Amino acid sequence: MPRGVKFLEMIVFDKVTKHYGTHKALDNVSFSIAPQEFVILVGPSGAGKSTLIKLLLCEEKPTFGNITIDGKDIHLLKEKYIPYYRRQIGVVFQDFKLLRGKTVFENVAFALEVSGKPDDQIKKEVTKILDLVGLKEKADNFPGELSGGEKQRVAIARALVFNPKFLIADEPTGNLDPQNSWEIAKLLLKINELGTTVLLATHNRDIVDAVHKRVISLDKGKLMRDRKRSKYA
């Protein structure tokens, strides 16, 4: 089952509801994401974007409904297979979540070490991916020595190093200035063109309008709109 989830098929949210106590974080949300699609998730704070991402990462289980990939319910995965499932999803966060004590190279290599790959292969792949995000020269710097945009590119490199079929970006531009935000958005578009499905959660209006891709709007846990090639509404 775990290695059976390949992200070659649709990701389907089927009537997903998530309660935290009496609070409905997600309310009967249904949609699907096709392979190699670029989907933007918008909505104000508290709309349920983060909850939706947590459900996708198997950090939480839905109260009702299910999420299937390849027709398989990801929340039926056994606990011990969840790490293997997560290795197929790249995740980027607003706060980067880089390890301060490790260099840029080590931060990216670390994700591969976890999966038990041999050292020489790790070196090759990390060098390649740092080249892709344009940080080859900063490989030996520590996160503290980088700008916000550079940190986010390290995080993206780490997310991509597994060669995932699916990349989730949770407010990746939340801490960045417009110039850097746009750089990150362009990088995500490039990654999508290379064949990776991208789910971008944001409330950066400029980015949404410039990217001009499918937009799913959430508000108070409900799915309000789902439009192709849309602008921020």
Amino acid at residue number 171: E
Q: Where are the beta strands (DSSP E) in 34-152?
A: 38-42, 64-69, 72-73, 89-93
Q: Let me know: does 55 contact 16? Beta carbons within 8 Å.
A: yes
28 vs 103 by CB, closer to other proteins: 103
Q: Which stretch binds other proteins (CB under 8 A): 92-100, 137-145, 198-206, 212-220?
A: 92-100
Does position 111 interact with other proteins (CB under 8 A)? The reply is yes
Length of the chain in terms of residues written: 233
Q: Let me know: does 168 contact 90? Beta carbons within 8 Å.
A: yes
Q: Tell me the CA end-to-end span of the chain in Å, nearest whole number.
A: 39
Does position 144 interact with other proteins (CB under 8 A)? The reply is no
Written as six digits, the tokens of 14 are: 């089927």
92 vs 218 by CB, closer to other proteins: 92
Does position 91 interact with other proteins (CB under 8 A)? The reply is yes
42 vs 69 by CB, closer to other proteins: 69
129 vs 208 by CB, closer to other proteins: 129
What's the rounded Cα separation, in Å, for the pair 66 and 72? 10
Does position 80 interact with other proteins (CB under 8 A)? The reply is yes
Strand 197-201's sheet: what is its strand order? 89-93, 166-170, 197-201, 38-42, 214-219, 222-227
111 vs 187 by CB, closer to other proteins: 111
Q: Which stretch binds other proteins (CB under 8 A): 42-50, 106-114, 184-192, 201-209?
A: 106-114
Site string for other proteins, 170-209 (x = CB under 8 A): ----------------------------------------
Q: Let me know: does 33 contact 11? Beta carbons within 8 Å.
A: yes
116, 120, 144, 228: which one binds other proteins (CB under 8 A): 116
What's the rounded Cα separation, in Å, for the pair 120 and 123? 5
Does position 99 interact with other proteins (CB under 8 A)? The reply is yes
Q: Which residues bind other proteins (CB under 8 A)?
A: 57, 59, 80, 83-87, 91, 97-99, 101, 110-111, 113-116, 118-119, 158, 162
